[in-house]
């Protein structure tokens, strides 16, 4: 009888700790480190709701929720590309804020420069696996299974004068990066100094905004301004927008309000644009 009970317990344990559960946990924790010391977290494939609900504070007309499937697992860089990593590969630092330290995110880089950096990295590592993430891959990685405005919780504040508790956990933005609480040098901060999301990715909501692969059209009419793509439709698999002269950017910056740091927020610049709040992180294909 005791033997039967023991076997029964083992059976239920096997169900609870199924191979799929173990696989997901293993994938979520696996890290790839390249020769430059850049760390990449493995993000497993899946389906999620991209965009934001109409009830979310500052929901925008071009953030309509839709079901997206990411068909293949991929590695996402754990942090934004740092000034030290950029300089180590190509020998110079393009950042306008370039005296604050090698562990700070690289900034003032155009989309074109990012693509060239990735080309050199692929050549240096003798591979073709490095690229910018798509807009959908970026949001999937940023959310890490969350459905709220931030991966750490819901948005409650819209200004720079009062700390948003959820955003303060994971991001450097206008209320905590020097302008307020307490006042100091208003600038980016070292990477990995805020809490990571559930997949171990840092600074997805703040520090510097990030270029992604997608192109977009820009539209401007009364009450509706911003990037437009044809990829925001239901049940789409691995979307990538290639139409338009502008490039989409994601994530908030050190100088921005909480409404611009939401997981679903979409912005854009021309590919030649440079800003001291604009950088990138790299995806490595599995």
Residue 92 has pLDDT above 60, yes or no: yes
C-beta separation of 102 from 263 below 8 A: no
DSSP 82: B
> What is the CATH code for 27-285?
3.90.1580.10
The share of the chain scoring above pLDDT 90, in percent, equals 80
What local confidence, expressed as pLDDT, does residue 23 receive? Answer: 39
Phi, psi angle pair for 210, to nearest 5°: -130, 130
Domain boundaries defined on the chain: 27-285
Residue 139 has pLDDT above 70, yes or no: yes
DSSP assignment string, 227-273: EE-S---TTEES-----SSEEEEES--TT--GGGSSTT--EEE-TT-
pTM value? Answer: 0.88
Average pLDDT, the chain: 89
Residue 190 to residue 16: CA distance in whole angstroms: 40
Q: What is the mean pLDDT of residues 227-256?
A: 96
CA 270 to chain centre: 20
pLDDT greater at residue 2 or residue 226: 226
């Amino acid at each position: 009888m005791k033997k039967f009970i023991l076997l029964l317990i083992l059976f239920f344990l096997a169900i609870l700790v199924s191979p799929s559960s173990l696989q997901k946990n293993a994938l979520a924790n696996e890290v790839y480190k390249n020769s430059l010391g850049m760390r990449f977290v493995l993000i497993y494939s899946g389906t999620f709701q991209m965009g934001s609900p109409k009830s979310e504070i500052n929901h925008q007309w071009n953030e309509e929720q839709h079901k997206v499937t990411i068909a293949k697992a991929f590695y996402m860089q754990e942090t934004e590309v740092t000034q030290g990593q950029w300089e180590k590969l190509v020998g110079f630092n393009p950042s306008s804020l370039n005296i604050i330290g090698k562990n700070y995110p690289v900034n003032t880089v155009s989309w074109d420069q990012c693509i060239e950096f990735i080309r050199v990295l692929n050549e240096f590592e003798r591979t073709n696996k490095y690229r910018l993430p798509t807009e959908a891959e970026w949001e999937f990685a940023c959310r890490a299974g969350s459905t709220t405005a931030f991966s750490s919780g819901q948005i409650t504040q819209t200004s720079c004068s009062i700390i948003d508790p959820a955003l303060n956990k994971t991001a450097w933005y206008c209320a905590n990066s020097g302008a307020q609480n307490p006042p100091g040098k208003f600038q980016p901060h070292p990477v990995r100094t805020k809490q990571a999301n559930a997949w171990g990715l840092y600074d997805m909501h703040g520090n510097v905004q990030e270029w992604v692969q997608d192109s977009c059209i820009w539209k401007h009419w009364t009450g509706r301004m911003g990037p437009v793509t044809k990829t925001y439709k239901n049940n789409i698999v691995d979307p990538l927008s290639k139409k338009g002269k502008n490039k989409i950017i994601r994530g908030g910056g050190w100088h921005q309000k909480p409404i611009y740091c939401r997981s679903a927020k979409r912005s854009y610049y021309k590919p030649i644009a440079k800003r001291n709040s604009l950088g990138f992180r790299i995806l490595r294909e599995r």
